[in-house]
A and B are shown apart, each in its own frame.
Chain A
């Protein structure tokens, strides 16, 4: 195991690591453009040059492997000078249009220039003009003048998404990034190249010009759109001067987690941020009056729901009530549901969602066939004693035939995110349908009550991904409108039903992962 010294700090690392990786571990930031920890090193931008003792010339930290006894200095006069020179070259033809650049504020070129260069340009010749708005594909737009030709995006498609979709053509100042002539840039992972672009060359046509990045607040969450459970950053701004369609959330970005999604996420998840402020979001509790669902307060809807549940239990017993939990709810919601409906009310018609669509798309990168984020969590919790789980189809049939008089549905149908116009899996039924969910769907037409629930980014919770990885998340922002976190809705419902719901029944503990009814 080689031990090396960087700026006076000693670190022992595994052989094969490069100097820049070792420096990153020490928290020493070596400036870089072409190096990205999720991609192979290219050594092309020359920004990461460092001084290494006994080597006469500066070396690129991203391609130099560590050797035992190496002494590296990252901040000497020679290094600073090299950085200044590289920046001067990069800025020869750069338009320096930061004020109108969407990447401004999260641009490495801007950061490094401010930190290391800050000179007056000595360049007197005419700058190269290139295409400023070059549409590469449905989601990505390219500004050729800003590109520093680091080739991160080229390598991303080659190494991560698996198909080489971009190339750098021509040479020197004429060089430009593009798809093969005539090809349109379409890929399920396109959005990542905007994240990794170190400058303002690649921007997202969806996010572009909607917000200045320094105005955005940042929250952490877990992507709820498939069983992978990618870790994400939620960029939002509830009180923006520039309101775009009354949006609060402006983008999702991947959050590094080597065990789940590395530095990446798919475009379905990325653009899924729109669901948080979608027009289809349910903003208030809705109660049916005749043909219409009318907004009512929480007190009234909770009282009414409790009343209907009590009535049905009294007239038809626990057999008359069914509970369908979509695997889009968090573990905490599942626990509270189990406590309220199974433990306290003795309901056994409990189903944990419809099976995975076998025809759904899946790949070997991130996207999982199972579009629900927490199926594994519900399995591990065990909503009902083993073997007593009712298949969703059977529950739906019971509801359709009228055997089940009241059906309480928790969570959103995972298929809805990917096919909003698709049919509802819940058939028509004569009884009372109560929906507790975040987004309107076709089944609302038959619902007696709709209780607006928070979406994952708006509540605390825990998802268990398909590999069994338990991932907790905190609320990034407050629920939209009158919506409440699912656990809070269940708490209020329990209160109205006058059942003793342990105030922390949804807290995940060691005993969580076994059905408590078996004891």
Chain B
């Protein structure tokens, strides 16, 4: 089996908790950080290091929508759809992104550069409409500003 995490990383994560199962979520997060998503192989890998049955791991992966089961693009774009952003035009933002990237929600561009997702509240109502790209928050944004941001991301 492919070792996704190093021995030290696993030791560090396991050391935080009284039993192995408790480290499941941090281990999955670490895997997702490395691989961008959690594949079937990764589920088996996590199950092996935590001494769990893969179905237990899969329960957790499938429960949380932020654990991704399919590979995503280099940059993950989250468009907030909650009330403040909706009132201030998140719909326009989303439509613009769909057109500009030529993909639907939940899809990835052909060059594997961007994945588009919607999000419930990003907790930045004061900066509505807001968009999060990877771990970086942008807001308030206009379609034009977004174009600039995307250009930069594509270069970077």
Residue numbers of A with Cβ under 8 A of B are: 163-171, 179-181, 183
CB-CB under 8 A from A181, the residues of chain B are 40, 58
- Is B55 part of the binding interface, using a Cβ–Cβ cutoff of 8 Å? yes
Complex formed: what's the CA distance from A171 to B65 in Å? Answer: 9
- CB of B53 within 8 A of CB of A168, answer no
> Interface residues of B, CB < 8 Å — how many?
11
Complex formed: what's the CA distance from A180 to B56 in Å? Answer: 9
Complex formed: what's the CA distance from A165 to B40 in Å? Answer: 16
Complex formed: what's the CA distance from A171 to B53 in Å? Answer: 19
- Is B62 part of the binding interface, using a Cβ–Cβ cutoff of 8 Å? yes
- CB of B59 within 8 A of CB of A167, answer yes
Query: 20 interchain pairs (CB within 8 A)?
Result: A163-B53, A164-B52, A164-B55, A164-B56, A165-B55, A166-B55, A167-B58, A167-B59, A168-B59, A169-B59, A169-B62, A169-B63, A170-B63, A171-B62, A171-B63, A179-B55, A180-B53, A180-B58, A181-B40, A181-B58
Of A167, A171, A181, most B-chain CB atoms within 10 Å: A167
Majority secondary structure, B binding face: helix
- Is B140 part of the binding interface, using a Cβ–Cβ cutoff of 8 Å? no
- Is B104 part of the binding interface, using a Cβ–Cβ cutoff of 8 Å? no
- CB of B53 within 8 A of CB of A164, answer yes
Complex formed: what's the CA distance from A170 to B65 in Å? Answer: 9
Residue numbers of B with Cβ under 8 A of A are: 40, 52-56, 58-59, 62-63, 65
Complex formed: what's the CA distance from A170 to B54 in Å? Answer: 15
CB-CB under 8 A from A170, the residues of chain B are 62-63
CB-CB under 8 A from A166, the residues of chain B are 55
Of A164, A165, A183, most B-chain CB atoms within 10 Å: A164
- B108 to A: closest C-beta gap in Å: 21
CB-CB under 8 A from B52, the residues of chain A are 164
Complex formed: what's the CA distance from A180 to B46 in Å? Answer: 14
Complex formed: what's the CA distance from A181 to B44 in Å? Answer: 12
CB-CB under 8 A from A180, the residues of chain B are 53-55, 58
Complex formed: what's the CA distance from A171 to B40 in Å? Answer: 19
Complex formed: what's the CA distance from A334 to B65 in Å? Answer: 65
Complex formed: what's the CA distance from A179 to B55 in Å? Answer: 7
Complex formed: what's the CA distance from A165 to B53 in Å? Answer: 8
Complex formed: what's the CA distance from A169 to B64 in Å? Answer: 10
17 further A-B pairs in the complex, CB-CB below 8 A; given A164-B55, A170-B62: A163-B53, A164-B52, A164-B56, A167-B53, A167-B55, A167-B56, A167-B58, A167-B59, A168-B59, A169-B62, A169-B63, A170-B63, A179-B55, A180-B54, A180-B58, A181-B58, A183-B55
Across the interface, name the chain A residue whose C-beta is closest to B63: A171
- B120 to A: closest C-beta gap in Å: 14
Complex formed: what's the CA distance from A180 to B43 in Å? Answer: 11
CB-CB under 8 A from B59, the residues of chain A are 167-169
Complex formed: what's the CA distance from A40 to B4 in Å? Answer: 34
Complex formed: what's the CA distance from A179 to B54 in Å? Answer: 10
Complex formed: what's the CA distance from A166 to B53 in Å? Answer: 9
Complex formed: what's the CA distance from A164 to B54 in Å? Answer: 9
